[in-house]
């Protein structure tokens, strides 16, 4: 409630003495080390005597939101490899021979097997009424491709893509509606694993080509997504993040460099619209405006580096904030970034705080960006980074 009372101080003392669990007063654990120490009790006493800090800071909540939303958004470009990498003429060698279907004007192209770059594969089929759009079905059976930072991605499930009237099987339509009835992506790395599940996910896609994308044919993709993406990581601690796209959301992807089988390696992803993020059981709804992720998976350090800029407006922040990286986030396939600094500026007040991700997977927060550490959390998955409202 923004105040410290005598009974709360006594609770902290009991925790420090080992007579009560830290969960009885998590707010008293200022540095996030799951203990109550003498200096934290003295801080609480000072707040009881003089009042709590008057300026709420969104930086703590931003630290959790940046990490969890980035994790979910960076999954989307991998879908391009599942589409562009195996459509005819997009880096896969396929010859499709139509055979008559059930109707006089309907044709079905028999399933064609393909092999994924790092193991196993899947099938591609297409059906079409001669007067209607083609419908492609892609089935993935332990299809493995190399992801960022030494991560191996394994896809299982199905996705369907429907073109426009006038398109024909055997080519890639420039406007598609993609739906995913069932698809999982397992990401395994030396630092852990993550499983992504697409639930009720669909998107309208518009593809454009500037002529620089080579055999992958398209370097600009606009999506109007709906449905949810859930990412569950192994511990310790284990965590789960679900990102749900509200109506009217838009995701634009501009690819500068593809790898083998059309896996995006260098690209920009921009999100506009309202999304709902659920992380560590806490729900966070926000409007993202020109929220851009610039991802480069080709760095010689072996890290996946991400730069972020854009505006996020949420009651959880007390309004709109501008988020921008000062130092690129470094991802190594684990649950948390291992480096990077993010400035969080509150639009209403102009106050700027600095969020830093550490090599151990922790987070530090510098309120006022004055080169002093005000809050420390041992992991980016700390539950206190996902609680609203933020103080």
Q: How confident is the model at residue 94 (pLDDT cuts 50, 70, 90)?
A: very low
**58 contacts: CB under 8 Å, gap ≥ 6:** 316, 317, 318, 321, 344, 346, 353, 390
Find, among 212, 227, 223, 277, the residue nearest to 79 by Cα. 223
Question: Which pLDDT belongs to residue 27?
Answer: 81
E strand intervals along the chain:
99-100, 106-115, 121-129, 134-146, 152-162, 175-189, 192-208, 220-233, 239-245, 250-258, 264-279, 282-296, 304-314, 319-331, 339-346, 352-357, 363-366, 375-377
Mapped onto helix, strand or coil, the DSSP state of residue 84 is helix
Highest mean pLDDT out of 3-12, 207-216, 232-241, 277-286: 3-12
Q: What is the DSSP letter of 216?
A: G
Digit-coded pLDDT (tens) for 267-321: 999 999 999 999 877 888 999 999 999 999 887 666 789 999 999 999 888 889 9
Identify the top-confidence range among 76-80, 106-110, 126-130, 281-285.
281-285
State the CB neighbour count (10 A cutoff) for residue 18: 8
Query: Could you tell me which of 158, 108, 119 has the C-alpha nearest to residue 138?
Result: 158
Query: What's the pLDDT score for residue 134?
Result: 87
The helix (run of H) or strand (run of E) holding residue 132 is none
Q: What is the DSSP string of 293-306?
A: EEEE---TTS-EEE
pLDDT, tens digit, for every residue of 50-69? 877 655 578 988 998 998 89
CA 137 centroid distance within chain: 25
Given a contact cutoff of 8 angstroms between Cβ atoms, the answer to whether 187 and 369 are in contact is no
The pLDDT value recorded for residue 382 is 84
Per-residue pLDDT at 90 exceeds 50: no
Mean pLDDT within 156-170: 86
The pLDDT of residue 202 is above 80: yes
C-alpha gyration radius of the chain: 24
Give the Cα separation of 80 and 95 in Å (integer).
21
């Amino acid at each position: 409630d923004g105040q410290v009372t005598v009974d709360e101080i006594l609770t902290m003392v009991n925790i420090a003495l080992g007579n009560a669990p830290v969960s009885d007063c998590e707010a008293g654990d200022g540095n996030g080390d799951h203990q109550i120490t003498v200096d934290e009790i003295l801080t609480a006493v000072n707040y009881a005597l003089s009042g709590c800090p008057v300026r709420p800071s969104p930086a703590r909540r931003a630290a959790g939101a940046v990490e969890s939303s980035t994790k979910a958004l960076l999954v989307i470009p991998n879908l391009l490899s599942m589409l562009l990498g195996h459509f005819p003429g997009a880096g896969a060698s396929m010859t499709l021979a139509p055979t008559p279907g059930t109707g006089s004007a309907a044709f079905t192209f028999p399933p064609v097997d393909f092999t994924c770059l790092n193991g196993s594969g899947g099938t591609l089929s297409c059906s079409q009424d001669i007067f209607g759009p083609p419908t492609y079905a892609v089935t993935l059976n332990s299809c493995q491709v190399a992801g960022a930072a030494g991560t191996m991605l394994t896809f299982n499930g199905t996705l369907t893509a429907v073109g426009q009237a006038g398109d024909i099987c055997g080519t890639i339509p420039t406007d598609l509606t993609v739906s995913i009835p069932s698809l999982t992506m397992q990401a395994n790395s030396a630092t852990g694993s993550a499983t992504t599940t697409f639930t009720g996910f669909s998107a309208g896609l518009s593809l454009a080509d500037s002529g620089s994308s080579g055999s992958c044919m398209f370097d600009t993709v606009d999506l109007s997504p709906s449905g949810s993406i859930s990412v569950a990581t192994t511990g310790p601690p284990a965590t789960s993040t679900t990102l749900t796209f509200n109506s009217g959301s838009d995701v634009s992807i501009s690819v500068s460099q593809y790898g083998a089988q059309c896996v995006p390696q260098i690209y920009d992803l921009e999100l506009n619209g309202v999304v709902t993020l659920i992380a560590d059981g806490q729900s966070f709804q926000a409007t993202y405006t020109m929220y851009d992720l610039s991802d480069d998976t080709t760095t010689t350090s072996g890290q996946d580096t991400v730069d972020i800029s854009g505006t996020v407006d949420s009651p959880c922040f007390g309004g709109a904030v501008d988020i921008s990286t000062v130092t690129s986030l470094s991802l190594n396939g684990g649950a948390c970034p291992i480096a990077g600094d993010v400035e969080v500026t509150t639009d209403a007040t102009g106050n700027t705080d600095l969020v830093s991700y550490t090599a151990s997977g922790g987070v530090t927060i510098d309120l006022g960006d004055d080169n002093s550490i005000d809050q420390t959390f041992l992991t980016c998955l700390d539950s206190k980074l996902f609680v609203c409202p933020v103080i």
